[in-house]
Structure 1
Amino acid sequence: MDYETARNFLIDQGMALQTQRNPDDLLRRLQDGKAPIPGQLTSILLALKRLFEDVQDRDSLDRPLVLALYLLAIQSQQLFEQGVRSRVGWPPLLKEDLQRVAKGVESIFSGVWKN
């Protein structure tokens, strides 16, 4: 995956609730009480790592990317917790995967990869 593909993929995933383009984007699925598509979080994590590798030495990031990353990190966990309160039967490792997404976003913002 190249930088531009990773960037566009993450923007699409993070802006899902604003654009309403794809009903299978992560945030839309979580909002609907549905588990991510198999491999979806893996793809997001790989895109985050690829993006990190390309931007770790940059002093600034573009606004659409920053907003999408922020929404992916924050809204995914909020929607997960909302689902827990609504008794959605989430997959067993979803919470940990969403925490990994947040760590990946934090890594991009800080310039230091967090395991």
Structure 2
Amino acid sequence: MDYKTARSFLIHQGTSSDSNTDAFLMRLKQRKPPIPGQVTTILLALKVVFEGLRTASALDRELVYSLYLLSFEGRQHFEAGIQAGVDWPPLLKEDLKRISRAVKSIFAGVWHSD
């Protein structure tokens, strides 16, 4: 996966729209689990974007907004699902933490693996 593809994929996954019903964020909002392999691809794309932006002095607004939505609103939809009794996949909570760490890494310019 190259930077351009990864960037586009992350923006697509973090965008909420009725025409984008299989996007990660929309699935969580609808209280549906991610599509198999979706989180793995998101994590790969985050790593590619991190590498592509490692030396960048500025980030573009569209990408930053999508990253924010994936990490922050993704977690909010997850928590709302728990409150509503949704039986999420067992690893989704950890996956959301991994996504948040990767987004933090992109913003910081230093990869956080803890």
- Tell me the TM-score normalised to structure 1 length: 0.96
| Counterpart AA for 2:102 | G
Superposed CA deviations along residues 73-108 of structure 1, whole A, max 9, x for unmatched, are: 100000000000000000001000011000000000
Aligned to 1:68: 66
Cα deviations by residue, 1:15-63 (Å, 9 ceiling, x for unpaired): 1x1x333211011111111100000000000000000001011110111
Q: CA RMSD in A?
A: 0.7
Partner of 1:90: 88
Distance across 2 between alignment mates of 1:36 and 1:52: 22
Amino acid at match of 1:54: G
Matched residues, percent identical?
A: 55
Asked if 1:52 is matched to 2:50, the reply is yes
Which ranges of structure 2 fall in alignment gaps of 5 or more residues?
Answer: none
Q: Tell me which stretches of 4 or more aligned residues in structure 1 moved more than 3 Å.
A: none
Question: Residue 79 of structure 2 corresponds to which residue in structure 1?
Answer: 81
State whether structure 2 residue 13 is matched by structure 1 residue 13: yes
Give structure 1 stretches of 5+ with no counterpart.
none
- Counterpart in 1 of 2:33? 35
Aligned length: 113
TM-score (norm 2): 0.97
Give the aligned residue type for 2:9.
F
Q: 2:99 aligns with which of 81, 98, 101?
A: 101
Distance in 1, matches of 2:18 and 2:63, equals 17
